[in-house]
Every structure is written in C-alpha cells, then in structure tokens.
Structure 1
C-alpha cells in the first residue's frame, strides 16, 4: 500500500487528504501544533468568510497568478460550497455576495465536521515539526527527537509567513533554499498602510466613509479607518499588490465617488467659498483635514483644481504593517518550480500547496478558496497516480 505524508493541517492539507479518502493508500497528516486548522479558526474570528458567490470567471479574476486561477478552474467556489454541504455545513450568501456558514454554525464546528469526515481514513500526528525532505523520506521532529518517515508521495502545506502564532512561520524556506528551489521573498499582503507622520494628525479612530482607492489597475470602494500609524480597510488592502511594485508607492483616493468630476466642480463653483463647498459635499473630518493640509492654496482657491484634488487625492506611503500582523502574504515557491498540480519539478511525487506557493488574492473568501483549490489539485494528482 502506498504511503502519503501530508505535512500541514490547514485548509490545503486537509483538502489534499480529502481527495485521497477513496484511494488505496495510507494517509498520515502531520502538524506541528497541538491541533489542526489554527489559522483557519483565527480567520473566522471576524466573520467566517469561506468563499464568494461570484461567477467563476469573476471569481478567478481576483487572483494575481495564472497558476492559482487554473487550480480554481478545477475546484471552484461552487465545488467548495458543495463539499461543505456534503460534510453537513450549510452556507448562506451575505449582502455583499460573500459566503458564510449558515446561522449559528461556528468556525470550530466547520473544522470538526471536516476532521470527522477524514478521521476514519486519515491518521493525525500532531506536535510534529517538519525538518527536511528528500526524494523518499521526510525528516520530522517529535518530542524533541528527530526521525525519518518514508513516503511514496509527500504534500507540503506548510503555510506562508503571516500570523506565525498560528504555525505559518516560513521556517521551511531555509530548506528550500538549500535545495536551490526558487522562492519569491515573502511580503505582507492585505495589509494596513503606514503613512508619514504629518498625515496622521489627531485622526486615530476616525473613519473615511464611502471612498474609492485606486493604484494602477487595482481599485476598490469602501471605508477606511485611521490608525496611530496610517490606514486600515478593504480599499487599501485591495491595492497592496500594485503598491508593492512601485519604487515610490502612491495611491489615489476619490473622496466623492458618488459624484462625477463635473458635479463636484459645479458644487464648488456655486459655493460662496471653498470651505462652504466642502461642507456642501459632506466630505467628513478626515477628508477636510487632508485637503486643508495637503492641497496648495492656489488649488484650494480654484474650484476646478480643487474638484480634481477631491476626485484624485494622491497619498504616498512609508510602507506596510509587519508581516507578523497581517492576514496573508505574497511570495513563496515560484510557480516556475512546480507543475499545474503543485508537484516540484526537481522532486517527483513531492507536492506543495496553499500559501507556500507564490500567489496573492484579496480578503473576502479568496484566500481560503485558493488554499483548498491548490490542496485539491495536489490530492487529485496523487489519487490518479495511485490508480495508474
């Protein structure tokens, strides 16, 4: 009987195991924490967003990598919802189109249902740390002792580097570097932005409502929260990718996206003075602070120029929040090093899955979906190999 080792008990590892349940193989799932799915549960603290109800093509467009888009073609958001129903987890669609567990179903209940589905076939080895691997053996550490485990197939689902308290500390990168496997350096994703101090004022806790943020070809509407260091909120998370590519990162804020440039200009032109015009536009405290402090006097007194500033307000950033604080990260194993199923080119029958791989996506259910889809393609490839 073939032996499959899966190291990493997050959504990617669990889904890889799920695909092998009907295969003639021994499945061992290892995790270095005392329980599986730690990050899965933490992600559910603020509302357990499992995926999104968009059409498949709209959904795939949210990802930055063709590799991950192709995995989602094989295991889509609709497939994920169907599987959840199979294990007894009903779902609902929120007002924004996001998919959540049905009322009163908590994250731990979703995880327990999944574990119960796996347990008749899968052996869980917890408090077991990954150390190294070669073509036929994985080196692990348990109870302070190192040991080697033989495998026919190995799935590494070791996570990225964000939220290391949950287990995804990126320590595995040293092993991959030794094996000359190309890695893209990890960077914070879906991160709050750190602004220069003169932008902060006395704004901590204030909300900038109903704005639109744009950077390059990335754009997102919503609210922003001012913090002691800068800004948090979905609109700035959505443009992280574009900002990371810029030598001097700058994004633009449309402070009045509900009105065209022409209409904003008309309001300002008819007002007695610029201050009266800003009040009539109902821009709010944060927007007015920025305009008064960072729009030149000449532009402020010119209705046409002030309207342009309101519609395209540029903000430069100092950087991102530390990767240890953010929900996700970009970077990891380069897709040039793997097949469509995540198999390492240099190590046949060794697969990588989930956040180990260099792909990125916004919040809103896309991160979990990317992980389960990549776990699916790895598990499916192993299942087909065993059958053949």
Structure 2
C-alpha cells in the first residue's frame, strides 16, 4: 500500500473488471498506479458471475450488439473495445475462448479464476500495486479519505478513477455508498433501479415442491394489460397487445421467478406489464383442441395435461393460476407478478452517474481529474456478456483518458 503522505500518480478505487482495466491502461503509459479495494480480495462479483461459466461477451453483428444497450453514449466506447477486442484480450492472457450456439463467448476453462489470476499476474509484473481492505469514505477538500487497516488515511493523486460498481450484491462490494459524496460535490447521480432481476410471486403451498425447478419449452409474452392482485383461478380474459415474446426458460423459486427467460424481458416487467406463458409454443390452438378431443374424457385433468406434452412443473403452473379452466389458457397463462426482487438481489442496476455530469472522456465535470467507469455510470444491458464487455470497455476508455491527463500534468515538486 502507498506510504503515508505520498500519493501515486494514478489511483483506482475499485478492483473489479472496470477498475483493473483502467489500471492496466494507466500502467502501460508509465504511470505509478495504486488500486484500492474495500474487500479483502479483488473482483468478487466477477468471480461469482463466473462460477457457472464466465460469459465474457456476445459474438454477433455490431448493430445488433450495440442495440442491446439502452445508452447511445456507450457506442464509441464499445466500438473501441467490443466483442472482437474482448476475445483478443482474453487470448493475450493465455485464455482461449469459444463461441457457443447462442453466440455467447466463454473461456475454454469456463471459470473466471484462471483469467483473473493471469490478469493480476500481468498487472503486478508491470508495477500495479493493489491495496485491499481500504474503504473510500469520501472527500477532505479535494483529497480522498479512506479507512485502512492502519487507520484513517488521505490521498491526493494526480488522477483518480472511480470504479465502485452499482448498488446490487453489496456483500460482494457494490453498495452504492459513494452516491451522497458525489452528490455533495455537485455530480448528478440518477436513482437506482434493479436490472436483470427476478420477480416476486405470491405462491400457494401447492407450489412448494417445485421450488428450484426449471421451466423449459415455453415462450414468455409481455402484454400491454397490467395485472394487480388477480385471483389465481380466474385469469384475465380478452386479447391484449403482445409487446415482446421470447423463447426461454426460467426457474421457480420460493420468492418468485428468476433466470434467463425472465431477464430477457425484465424492463417490461419492471414497469408492471403482464407476463403470460405459452406453455406449448410448438402447438397451435387448433392442434391442442384436436389432441384434447382424442383423450378420454374420464381421464384426470393432470393426466390430460400430461398427454398434451406438459411436464409436472408446467402442469403445476396451470393448476396454480388456472385451476378453474385448466385447458383455456395453455397458450396464454397470465402470471400475477408482485414486483421486482429487491435492488441488492439484482444481477445489475440501472441508474448511476448521469452522462450530462461527464465529459466524453468519462471525467466528472464537477471534479476535474476524477474519472468514472463501469456500473457506476447510468446504463443498463441484459445478461449474455453485455455487462462485462461494457465494464471492461468503459474502464479502458477512462484509463486511457486519465493517462492522457497525466501527460498534461506538470511534475510534482
């Protein structure tokens, strides 16, 4: 860690993907770089995200890729470091990647830890210092204050990059504690909203055996009607405009619904639009009627649903939300959602530092010499490699801009 009263050329606060990428760009320019991390170890959210397979980016045509981000300000940043550059960067660290059938790109090793180990080795070999258990606590004039294992400390580096994450998964380090400190300095920060999150459902005890079970072979529809406290045995009637429809799967949890299929349409659902499920997307209504006519009328409801091709989990959903008319809503089973899961449980967030508060270099207009990167910025994107690509890209962009600023700064006397 830096000795008392000696400031590094460049300070990076936050040792996640964006912060480490910024540090890499700065040290390449010849700067003395110190990375500060509040947790005992670095990149905790990155490692957690890679436990089930590290999805580093999405290999698809450029216009499709950039359209996934609801933020035009990211366009030049992603043009500079997009899917092809991410893959080349991974390979340069000795981590070969491959593209899955969905276009998602993964390291051959699948996990995040081999990539992180190789990256940290390269950074430290180039002179980057990493100090853990240093928690940023705000400002003392223009200097930055920290709680450290040795007590309070103050630093006044030539340039600073903030890469503190958003406000989800606080146990991994992203707690949003920095928001009031920047607002006090005149930096506009928009309020947080959860992104890529699950939704609450008020299940009956009938559903308890299915908690943790995936729901596969369905299509998820977002409709223009909205549901509030709809009785589960009488789904709303009528035809409503379908705003979006996605094939996908999701998981039934004790708290509600979560998983990739839900995350693909979360923006609509966050605005309280109706979710309905097509339980038999490969069969038209006429074919379902024909098949039902050939099933013995004396069969139980459960047996008739099974003969139509529904597995026990999908049958359970029918009985939960359409018990009175179990065959009437197989193509359009409304699910009454009770709102999104809490912010801290979301995979990512919307909101953060407003783009009007930043220069094109990601420098805070109200705080010259301080840059921001990663999920601190006001953007959102779906899962599937988009989040990680933008974190790396904005960290790289801010790091390069801070390096240029250092070259313009007179030497310390």
Shared fold (TM-score, shorter chain, > 0.5) = yes
Instruction: Using the TM superposition, give the Cα deviation of residue 106 of structure 1 relative to its aligned residue in structure 2, in angstroms.
Output: 4.2
Cα distance in 2, alignment partners of residues 227 and 154 from structure 1: 42
Which segments of 5 or more consecutive residues in structure 2 lack a partner in the other structure? 1-6, 224-242, 409-413
Residue 32 (structure 1) aligned with residue 72 (structure 2): no
Cα distance in 2, alignment partners of residues 380 and 320 from structure 1: 37
Aligned length: 378
Over residues 63-107 of structure 1, what are the superposed CA-to-partner deviations in whole Å (9 max), with x where a residue is unaligned? Answer: 22222344212210111111111122211223332212124x642
Which segments of 5 or more consecutive residues in structure 1 lack a partner in the other structure? none
Over residues 141-189 of structure 1, what are the superposed CA-to-partner deviations in whole Å (9 max), with x where a residue is unaligned? Answer: 2225222212222110011122212111111112123234222322332
Q: Which runs of structure 2 are paired with 1:298-313 in the superposition (5 Å)?
A: 306=328, 309-313=329-333
**Residues 215/73 of structure 1: CA separation in 2 closer, same or farther (3 Å cut):** farther
Question: Alignment RMSD, CA only?
Answer: 2.7
Aligned partner of 1:92 in structure 2 is: 98
Aligned partner of 1:207 in structure 2 is: 214
Residue 321 (structure 1) aligned with residue 341 (structure 2): yes
Aligned partner of 2:255 in structure 1 is: 229
Residue 251 (structure 1) aligned with residue 252 (structure 2): no
Aligned partner of 1:49 in structure 2 is: 55
Instruction: Using the TM superposition, give the Cα deviation of residue 131 of structure 1 relative to its aligned residue in structure 2, in angstroms.
Output: 1.5
Residue 284 (structure 1) aligned with residue 311 (structure 2): yes
Aligned partner of 1:365 in structure 2 is: 385
SS in 1 for 2:161: strand
Asked if the contact 1:90–1:102 (Cα under 8 Å) also holds between the matched residues in 2, the reply is yes
Cα distance in 2, alignment partners of residues 272 and 280 from structure 1: 10
Over residues 197-246 of structure 1, what are the superposed CA-to-partner deviations in whole Å (9 max), with x where a residue is unaligned? Answer: 34963432333211122336554322222222222221112222222223
Asked if the contact 1:199–1:290 (Cα under 8 Å) also holds between the matched residues in 2, the reply is no
**Residues 387/265 of structure 1: CA separation in 2 closer, same or farther (3 Å cut):** farther
Q: Which of 302, 318, 321 is matched with 1:294 structurally? A: 321
Aligned partner of 2:264 in structure 1 is: 238
Cα distance in 1, alignment partners of residues 205 and 284 from structure 2: 26
Cα distance in 2, alignment partners of residues 142 and 15 from structure 1: 23
Residue 374 (structure 1) aligned with residue 398 (structure 2): no
Cα distance in 1, alignment partners of residues 182 and 285 from structure 2: 52
**Residues 13/185 of structure 1: CA separation in 2 closer, same or farther (3 Å cut):** same
**Residues 312/157 of structure 1: CA separation in 2 closer, same or farther (3 Å cut):** same
